[in-house]
Chains A and B, each alone.
Chain A
Amino acid sequence: QSVLTQPPSVSAAPGQKVTISCSGSSSNIGNNYVSWYQQLPGTAPKLLMYENNKRPSGIPDRFSGSKSGTSATLGITGLQTGDEADYYCGTWDSSLSGPVFGGGTKLTVL
């Protein structure tokens, strides 16, 4: 059971937009920055978003992040088949004094 809650799966057609939610509490998302990771099949996770809405170098602006209260959202526009992956949210949990992840969301581009 993960500390952060994500939907197990989402899907959308190529070219469309999709959002992935990440729900937590005041001890984690509510008072800490959120990061997102993309894990393509058979590869290691890769940092996709940090400090809620900042993209590392090389990440296209089709990817966006936001946070409100104790929830965060990853948005992907102009979906491509290459975006099919598992997406994980992460943050710091002040009560646990450590980082925590969501259970992951599998994105299918139909």
Chain B
Amino acid sequence: QVQLQESGPGLVKPSQTLSLTCTVSGYSISSGSYYWSWIRQPAGKGLELIGRLYTSGSTNYNPSLQSRVIISVDMSRNQFSLTLSSVTAADTAVYYCARMTTVVTHYFDYWGQGALVTVSS
């Protein structure tokens, strides 16, 4: 059974950097065949794609966040991470990591439980 679990600080100060890690179990990221993604959801709002990473290390980011986002992978730990710099209150949200199929179908089949990150001084 594939499982994803987000971890990281729940409180970040404005202008600082948000860092989250997603630990994957039940599937090896290095096996390929999937995109590893970050998605966020502000309270009471819809889902926003942040970006995705492929096993090769290639990444794609939401243009509205691209200047502040880095998604990276640590295959030895079977983890991938999100770094979002210069955060503001608008970055307060529940952050989800998810696995997305790559070939033709493009759906998110497994999701983490989500990590609430609040940006506040």
Contacts and interface: CB of A to CB of B under 8 A. Distances in A.
B60 A33 contact: no
Contacts, number: 58
Chain A contact residues: over half helix, strand or loop, or mixed? strand
A46 B109 CA distance: 8
A100 B114 CA distance: 19
A91 to B, nearest CB: 7
B96 A44 contact: yes
Given A33-B104, A100-B49, A45 B60 contact: no
B109 A50 contact: yes
Given A44-B96, A44-B112, A45-B96, A33 B105 contact: yes
Contact of A97 (B37, B60, B104, B109): B60
A56 B105 CA distance: 14
B46 A47 contact: no
A2 to B, nearest CB: 6
Interface of A: 2, 32-33, 35, 37, 43-47, 50-51, 56, 88, 90-92, 97-104
Given A2-B46, A51-B107, 5 more contacts: A45-B111, A47-B111, A51-B105, A102-B46, A104-B46
